[in-house]
Amino acid sequence: MTLSSESSSELIHALRSDPATLPTSLFGLPGEPPHERVLLVADEQTGLKAFIAVHSTARGPAFGGCRFWRYDNELAALNDALRLSQGMSLKNALADLPFGGGKAVIIKPAGEFDRPALFSAFGRAVQSLSGVYITAEDVGTTTDDMLGMREHTAFVSGIPRDGSFGGDPSPKTAWGVFVAIKAGVRAHLQRDSLDGVRVGLQGLGAVGWHLAGFLHLEGAKLVVADVDAGRVKRAQEVFNADAVPADEIIGADVDVLAPCALGAVFDERSVPKVRARLIGGAANNQLAKPDDGDALHQRGILYLPDYLINAGGIVSVAREYRNEGDEQMVMAEVTRIGERVDELLQRAASSGLPPAREADAWARSKLVRPD
């Protein structure tokens, strides 16, 4: 980890003042092998403060998006970067991509800031890693941010090409989640169609909105929640969705729950409230802890691991980055996420492990350089 003197003193202050977010190590997650690299980036002129976490390069360069978010403190941002980058290693491995796992987190400055200048500074930081880490969009970042960064680094993807292939990964992510939900509904709810299946959608953003469209077209009945009332109203109009308050969606009376907002939605308090029998959504790190996945399993709820089913976006930006294939091939590759769900359920049936534990073991067994 690279620490500037100013930032390290702030970090130590945060360590002392907020023990709740204190990681046991700055180099990795509790009980896990350390990350390969964690770069702390600060640029006084633009106000940039960011972490670039490289979890593993065993399969190739670490590939994963850049989150732009307001955090309570620097340690919360570091923790997010550590957790998200580990998730990217598992996601890229299960998607059979020749990439390792990494993620960047930029702390959104309080007050006014010059966005293009901030992302230029971040692009220079990505370039300084000489390709060990490749960036793309994540929550809070846009294709325009990626375009701006491309002036400063070659190691960026998620930029539209020829009007169709590449660019915003969110529709591909939504498609992968959609095919996974269909596979889960077939296997766990014994229903061949989504017609009349009630799906609770938490978050109607870039991914959630596209997912809502796919589900609606297949006849699912949507129950939606978002902290943005405008998006909820639009979903009621466009998809004839029912709406519930944001703090009630986890316990909504639905068959399927699709979390598409932020992480750690399932913990000791929320798991007992879930009424859905299947969970499949785009949000990263939905389980606060692995034990929460066990608790869902014990309740007979099939939890489809986020990093297995939300890989559509990384498949898209990875193929774009390597200049491989075209739109049709990427869609076919993303559609295979449905088959991976079937394979996971078969593996879990033979091992006797809950599917979330099985997915973890399966992904970790693939954290080696592909042939």
Q: Which residues are at the interface with ligand NAI (CB under 6 A)?
A: 138-139, 169-170, 173, 202-208, 225-228, 231, 246, 260-262, 282-284, 310, 313
Q: Considering beta carbons, is residue 42 or 341 the nearer one to ligand NAI?
A: 341
3-state secondary structure at position 6:
helix
User: Is 103 among the residues known to form the active site?
Assistant: yes
The answer to whether 97 and 39 have CB atoms below 8 angstroms apart is no
Q: Considering beta carbons, is residue 155 or 209 the nearer one to ligand NAI?
A: 209
CA distance 83 to 103: 9
Q: At its nearest, how many Å lie between ligand NAI and the CB of residue 190?
A: 28
177 class by beta-carbon count within 10 Å (0-12 exposed, 13-18 middle, 19+ buried)? buried
Helix (H) or strand (E) run with residue 127 in it: helix 115-128
Q: Considering beta carbons, is residue 221 or 231 the nearer one to ligand NAI?
A: 231
Q: Considering beta carbons, is residue 28 or 208 the nearer one to ligand NAI?
A: 208
Q: Considering beta carbons, is residue 11 or 149 the nearer one to ligand NAI?
A: 149
58 class by beta-carbon count within 10 Å (0-12 exposed, 13-18 middle, 19+ buried)? middle
Helix (H) or strand (E) run with residue 273 in it: none
Largest CA distance in the chain: 59
Q: At its nearest, how many Å lie between ligand NAI and the CB of residue 173?
A: 4
Q: At how many degrees (to 10) do helices 170-188 and 206-217 cross?
A: 50
| Catalytic member of 103, 172, 182, 221 | 103
Residue with tokens 């308090």: 269
Which token pair is 248? Answer: 């009630």
Q: At its nearest, how many Å lie between ligand NAI and the CB of residue 310?
A: 4
CA distance 204 to 243: 11
**Residue 183, φ and ψ in degrees, nearest 5:** -65, -40
Q: At its nearest, how many Å lie between ligand NAI and the CB of residue 270?
A: 12
Q: Considering beta carbons, is residue 189 or 264 the nearer one to ligand NAI?
A: 264
CA distance 53 to 7: 16
Q: Where are the beta strands (DSSP E) in 130-204?
A: 133-134, 198-202
Residue with tokens 């299947």: 278
**Which residues have a catalytic role annotated?**
103
